[in-house]
């Protein structure tokens, strides 16, 4: 088992390497003159020269790459051209917001998706399953921004039960300690603010989680159906076990495997989707920051987001692989 | 007295392929949801193709006096913030979505297919290297990759096509490679090899046709995501460079400001996107069921 | 009193393409301690019959349309699911064909055996575990205590089947149904597993139904044999009678398509022409007619009921004196049975009536690629 983990980690190294090259190229190989593109309208001769030396743009490419690697490994992801603050610290402030949104969406997708999938499998070829399939279809066909805007319109504008956007009522002031709004509200004991923050989280989480919900539902349903037709399920019934036991120990225990894998893969999609969701709901997170950065040609910011999101995705995939091996005794032994 | 029977010498593989398409078409036409999907796609394509003919107004021209009218007798779907006719903009928007969607999926098929086929057919080190490249692309999740590419290359229709193609290409690469690997050791390929067929011939006549079915399904489903991705880019302000262009995603960005006053401006482009996506998703699922040779009856 | 009595059992499957007439009126009985063989080719309905007995037909497609299954005085077809569940595993146990897929891959052997025991007896886990060790020893698995903690994929096929047998006999069931228990195993292992089944069932007085398509398997193990074809029982007799005086054309055909070492001069192997019938159509006339060398006109029209071979003999359904019965209008004579083909000079099997010509041509061959499409 330990060897399997090490093998997987080693397999990930070339990908990390390739990723770093791609991101290096993103800035150092910008079409045209990188320095001018980076500075955009802020370009002055002194600043341009400064950027050039900072990035080593006059040196040979491989030297630039080594310089870049060194900087990244030291946590130097460049500075934002807008406010000249280090990108990494700006990222750290906004990242918790994205994490909260992503976790909320994941909770929604898994919490609703798995039961829905099981329900669909149990009622296969009947009305219940048909409805589940429709939900699944809509989930993948309705883009996040369309769903988000629609939810906003129905619940915020018409029914007025939930807030339109933002992470917290602007009138409430909470000191930013961890930058996790849910934690920060609890840290100062402001229960009302905590609830308010949760209310702000609901619509964005649903919008972001819609696609993973659809996929998890589909996979769970398929996995349960597949496993239900396996011989060992028939054996279990022939032994006289209760249907409940057959369901839990024999069907679900085996159906979990592909479902868990899929959940892990959805994390990447969630991170990507966060970009759009944060824009629709004016959510204070890395995604919205990145979109603004693109419009401002703030390339260091965009690069850092891509790098960190990709890293997270790779790590999650690694964890999923190891988790799968753990759950499936055929690989473990 | 029982008489021995002689069987005609026909290679099962070829016969199976010819029968497969006819069978599949028949099954597809009996599949309810797939027919609904085809209908939606037909509406979508018709809108795109017939836009110049049936659009009542010029999608780019609008008078501020006419702005933000709800649906009425003159402007069937209302007008937008610039006074432009919403119906005409939706129809022309279909053109952008259709063209960009189809071209990007074709590009993705080409790029991904070549890489996947090369990796699958060649094996060994080339396979390893190519798959690592694919892995790197896959490590950058979905729309982030598209955003990155458009940010890097600046806005423009070709750039958008390339960006959306890049998000789908790795999937095709992996698919083709897996399909080739699975088919490599199949009996009829070994049989063909044993009678001296060349590697290229084996690839073209025997292995590819069988990989074709999963590609077709994947491409159809990829069209659905391509349409959504294109609109997504538009929504984020990375759409076609000319801000007046009628593109569904960009139309939604404009409409966000007027969520309260003019919700219909969100409804119509939204419905257009969803219907097109549903169409390709349903068709893709239908194709998957009817093209699966194991389900042949 | 018969332990098990199956009466006029009819099972249909509803599918996308229509109904499949899997079992069409099967009746047989079993005394306690008897060992019965159910023989037939794939698709003849033998496995379906047994799934129907314990109520495990795949839902929602499979349904018992008619008939009764009386086990130990109770009609199983009328019982509720929870009552059936009590009987399964405790009174009636089943082992299946493919040991590779019949055990849950993510649970240890111990967990799977203990749950069987605890499902029907209130015993502690420790006691159940002890019993499991006993059972594994009984079926000849070395180092049983250690192996309890293994997973199924760590066993070989033969060992897995032994585990299945151990699980089946855990609660000392009255009836054991073995559905092709050795088909998926190597020949040498087959013999071992069959011997194990024989020893355990005769030793414990367990009633056995052995389902197989292999006549060699039933020869050494069973006391009586039912031969099935297309969802009907076409011949039933004691094992010695069946091998000594095979009477239904299908049985005759089966016996002549197996090479036998104990016969003097090597004789020609006579394969049975044609293919099994399409179970999607309700049968008209004798289902074996298209492939039968002894058919007469009546065979195409009337499905022969199962009757004693010697007309007028009183019917004894079970036991060593069971009557030899067949369902045939024009059975082969003893001499023809020995040779394997009709001996009347100039004999031509009755041609099919108009409208059924295609059954004949499909049954007598043609390219396998052409077959089903030509018929539809």
Concatenating the DSSP letter of every residue in B152-208 gives HH-S-HHHHHHHHHHHHHHHHHHHHHHHHHHHHT-HHHHHHHHTT--HHHIIIIIIH
Model confidence, pTM: 0.81
Nearest Cβ partner of C102 from A231, A253, A330?
A231
Asked if C4 and C71 touch (Cβ cutoff 8 Å), the reply is: yes
pLDDT in the model for residue A207: 94
In tens digits, what is the pLDDT along chain B, a chain of 297 residues?
333 333 333 333 433 444 566 777 777 777 788 889 999 999 999 999 988 888 888 878 877 777 788 888 888 888 888 888 888 889 999 999 999 999 999 999 999 988 888 887 777 788 888 888 888 888 888 888 888 888 888 788 888 999 999 999 998 998 888 887 777 666 666 676 677 666 666 666 666 666 777 888 899 999 999 999 999 999 988 888 887 888 999 989 888 888 888 888 889 999 999 999 999 999 998 888 877 655 443
What H or E segment, with its residue span, contains residue A92? helix A87-122
Nearest Cβ partner of C17 from B1, B12, B297?
B297
Mark out chain B residues that contact chain A at CB-CB < 8 A. 132-133, 135-136, 139-145, 147-148, 150-154, 224, 228, 231-232, 235-238, 249, 252, 255-256, 259-260, 263, 266-267, 270, 273-274, 277-278, 281-282
Q: Does A282 touch chain C (CB under 8 A)?
A: no
Mark out chain C residues that contact chain B at CB-CB < 8 A. 16-17, 270-271, 273, 293, 341, 364-369
Query: Which band of pLDDT confidence, cut at 50, 70 and 90, is reported for residue C373?
Result: very low
Cα–Cα nearest to A10, from A321, A269, A312, A261: A321
Phi, psi dihedrals of residue C95, rounded to the nearest 5°: -120, 145
How many CB atoms are located within 10 Å of the residue C84 CB? 19
Query: Mind listing the pLDDT tens digit for each residue in A243-270?
Result: 888 888 888 888 888 888 888 888 888 9
- Which residues, 6 or more positions from A280, have their beta carbon under 8 angstroms from its beta carbon? A144, A145, A148, A149, A152, A165, A204, A207, B256
Specify the residue for token string 């018709």. B46
Nearest Cβ partner of C86 from A229, A235, A240?
A240
* Distance between C187 CA and the closest CA of chain A, angstroms: 23
Chain A contact probe: residue of C83, C97, C102 with most A CBs at under 10 A: C102
pLDDT in the model for residue B129: 84
Query: Which band of pLDDT confidence, cut at 50, 70 and 90, is reported for residue A138?
Result: very high
* Distance between A124 CA and the closest CA of chain C, angstroms: 10
Distance CA C358, CA C363 (A): 8
Query: Mind listing the pLDDT tens digit for each residue in C226-249?
Result: 999 888 899 999 998 888 888 898
Residue of B nearest to A21 (CA): B136
Q: Of the ranges A80-89, B68-77, C186-195, which is most confident? A: C186-195
ipTM attached to this prediction: 0.84
Q: Does A239 touch chain C (CB under 8 A)?
A: yes
Query: Which band of pLDDT confidence, cut at 50, 70 and 90, is reported for residue A175?
Result: confident
Query: Is the pLDDT confidence value at A125 over 90?
Result: no
pLDDT in the model for residue B185: 66
HSE of A156 in the Cβ direction (CA atoms, 13 Å)? 20
Residues listed for chain A: 333
* Stretch among A65-79, A263-277, C151-165, C358-372 having the lowest mean pLDDT: C358-372
Mean pLDDT score of chain A:
84
* Stretch among B198-207, B239-248, C51-60, C309-318 having the lowest mean pLDDT: B198-207
Distance between first and last Cα of chain C: 48
- Which residues, 6 or more positions from C148, have their beta carbon under 8 angstroms from its beta carbon? C108, C109, C110, C113, C129, C132, C133, C136
Antiparallel, parallel or unpaired: β C232-238 and C325-326: antiparallel
Phi, psi dihedrals of residue A264, rounded to the nearest 5°: -60, -40
């Amino acid at each position: 088992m330990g060897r399997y983990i090490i093998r997987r980690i080693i397999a990930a190294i070339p990908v990390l390497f390739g990723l770093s090259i791609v991101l290096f190229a993103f800035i150092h190989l910008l079409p045209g003159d990188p320095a001018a593109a980076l500075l955009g309208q802020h370009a002055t001769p002194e600043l341009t020269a400064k950027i050039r030396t900072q990035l080593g743009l006059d040196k040979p490419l491989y030297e630039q790459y080594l310089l870049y690697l060194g900087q990244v490994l030291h946590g130097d992801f460049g500075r934002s051209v807008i406010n000249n603050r280090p990108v990494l610290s700006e990222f750290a402030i906004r990242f918790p917001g994205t994490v909260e949104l992503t976790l909320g969406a994941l909770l929604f997708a898994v919490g609703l998706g798995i039961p829905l999938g099981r329900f669909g499998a149990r009622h296969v070829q009947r009305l219940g399953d048909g409805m589940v399939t429709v939900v699944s279809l809509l989930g993948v066909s309705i883009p996040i921004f369309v769903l988000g805007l629609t939810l906003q319109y129905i619940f915020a504008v018409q029914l007025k039960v939930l807030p339109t956007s933002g992470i917290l009522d602007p009138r409430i002031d909470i000191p930013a300690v961890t930058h996790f709004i849910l934690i920060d509200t609890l840290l100062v004991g402001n229960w009302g603010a905590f609830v308010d923050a949760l209310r702000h989280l609901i619509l964005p989480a649903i919008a972001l989680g819609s696609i993973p919900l659809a996929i998890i539902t589909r996979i769970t349903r398929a996995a349960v159906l597949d496993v239900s037709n396996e011989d060992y399920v028939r054996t279990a019934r022939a032994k006289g076990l209760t249907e409940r036991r057959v369901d839990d120990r024999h069907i679900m225990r085996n159906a979990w495997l592909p479902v868990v894998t899929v959940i892990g893969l959805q994390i990447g999609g969630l991170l990507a989707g966060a970009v759009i969701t944060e824009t629709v709901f004016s959510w204070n997170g890395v995604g919205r920051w990145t979109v603004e950065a693109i419009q401002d040609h703030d390339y260091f910011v965009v690069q850092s987001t891509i790098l960190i999101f990709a890293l997270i995705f790779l790590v999650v995939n690694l964890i999923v692989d190891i988790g799968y091996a753990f759950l499936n005794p055929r690989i473990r032994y | 007295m029982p008489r021995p029977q002689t069987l005609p010498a026909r290679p099962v593989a070829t016969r199976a392929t010819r029968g497969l398409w006819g069978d599949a078409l028949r099954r597809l036409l009996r599949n309810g949801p797939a027919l609904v999907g085809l209908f939606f796609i037909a509406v979508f394509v018709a809108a795109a193709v017939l836009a110049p003919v049936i659009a009542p107004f010029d999608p780019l021209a609008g008078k501020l006096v006419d702005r933000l009218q709800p649906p009425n007798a003159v402007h069937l779907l209302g007008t937008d913030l610039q006074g432009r006719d919403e119906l005409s903009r939706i129809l022309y928007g279909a053109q952008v979505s259709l063209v960009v969607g189809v071209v990007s999926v074709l590009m993705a098929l080409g790029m991904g297919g070549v890489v996947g086929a090369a990796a699958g057919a060649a094996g060994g080190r080339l396979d390893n290297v190519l798959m690592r490249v694919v892995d790197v692309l896959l490590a950058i999740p979905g729309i982030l990759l598209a955003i990155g590419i458009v940010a890097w290359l600046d806005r423009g229709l070709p750039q958008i096509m390339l960006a959306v193609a890049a998000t789908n290409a790795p999937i095709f690469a992996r698919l083709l490679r897996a399909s080739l690997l699975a088919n490599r050791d199949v009996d009829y390929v070994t049989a063909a090899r044993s009678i001296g067929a060349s590697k290229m011939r084996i690839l073209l006549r025997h292995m590819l046709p069988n990989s074709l079915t999963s590609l077709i399904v994947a491409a159809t489903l990829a069209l659905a995501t391509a349409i959504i991705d294109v609109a997504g880019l538009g929504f984020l302000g990375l759409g076609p460079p000319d801000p007046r262009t009628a593109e569904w995603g960009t139309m939604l960005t404009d409409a966000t400001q007027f969520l309260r006053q003019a919700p219909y401006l969100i409804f119509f482009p939204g419905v257009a996107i969803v219907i097109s996506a549903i169409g390709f998703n349903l068709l893709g699922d239908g194709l998957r069921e009817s093209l699966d040779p194991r389900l042949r009856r | 009193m018969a332990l098990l009595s199956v009466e006029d059992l009819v099972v249909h499957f509803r599918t996308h393409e229509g109904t499949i007439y899997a079992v069409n009126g099967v009746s047989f009985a079993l005394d306690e301690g008897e060992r019965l063989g159910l023989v037939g080719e794939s698709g003849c309905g033998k496995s379906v019959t047994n799934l129907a007995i314990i109520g495990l037909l795949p839902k929602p497609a499979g349904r018992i349309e008619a008939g009764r299954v009386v086990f130990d005085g109770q009609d199983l077809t009328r019982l509720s699911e929870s009552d059936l569940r009590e009987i399964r595993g405790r009174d009636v146990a089943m082992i299946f064909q493919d040991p590779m897929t019949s055990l849950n891959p993510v649970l240890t052997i111990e967990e799977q055996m203990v749950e069987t025991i605890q499902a029907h007896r209130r015993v502690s886990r420790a006691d159940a575990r002890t019993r499991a060790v006993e059972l594994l020893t009984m079926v000849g698995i070395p180092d049983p205590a250690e192996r309890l903690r293994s997973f199924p994929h760590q066993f070989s096929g033969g060992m897995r089947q032994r585990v299945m047998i151990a699980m089946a006999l855990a609660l000392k069931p009255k009836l054991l149904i073995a559905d092709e228990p050795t088909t998926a195993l190597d020949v040498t292992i087959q013999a071992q597993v069959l011997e194990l089944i024989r020893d355990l069932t005769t030793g414990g007085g367990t009633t056995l139904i052995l389902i197989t398509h292999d006549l060699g398997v039933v020869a050494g193990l069973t006391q009586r044999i039912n031969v099935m074809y297309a969802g009907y029982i076409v011949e039933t007799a004691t094992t010695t009678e069946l091998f000594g005086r095979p009477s239904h054309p299908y049985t005759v055909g089966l016996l002549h398509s197996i090479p036998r070492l104990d016969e003097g001069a090597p004789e020609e192997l006579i394969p049975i022409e044609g293919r099994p019938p399409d179970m999607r159509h309700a049968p008209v006339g004798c289902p074996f007619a298209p492939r039968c060398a002894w058919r007469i006109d009546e065979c195409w029209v009337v499905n022969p009921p199962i009757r004693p071979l010697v007309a007028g003999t009183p019917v004894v359904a079970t036991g060593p004196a069971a009557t030899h019965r067949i369902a045939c209008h024009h059975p082969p004579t003893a001499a023809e049975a020995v040779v394997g083909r009709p001996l009347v000079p100039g004999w031509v099997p009755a041609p099919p009536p108009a409208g059924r010509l295609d059954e004949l041509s499909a049954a007598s061959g043609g390219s396998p690629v052409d077959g089903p499409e030509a018929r539809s």
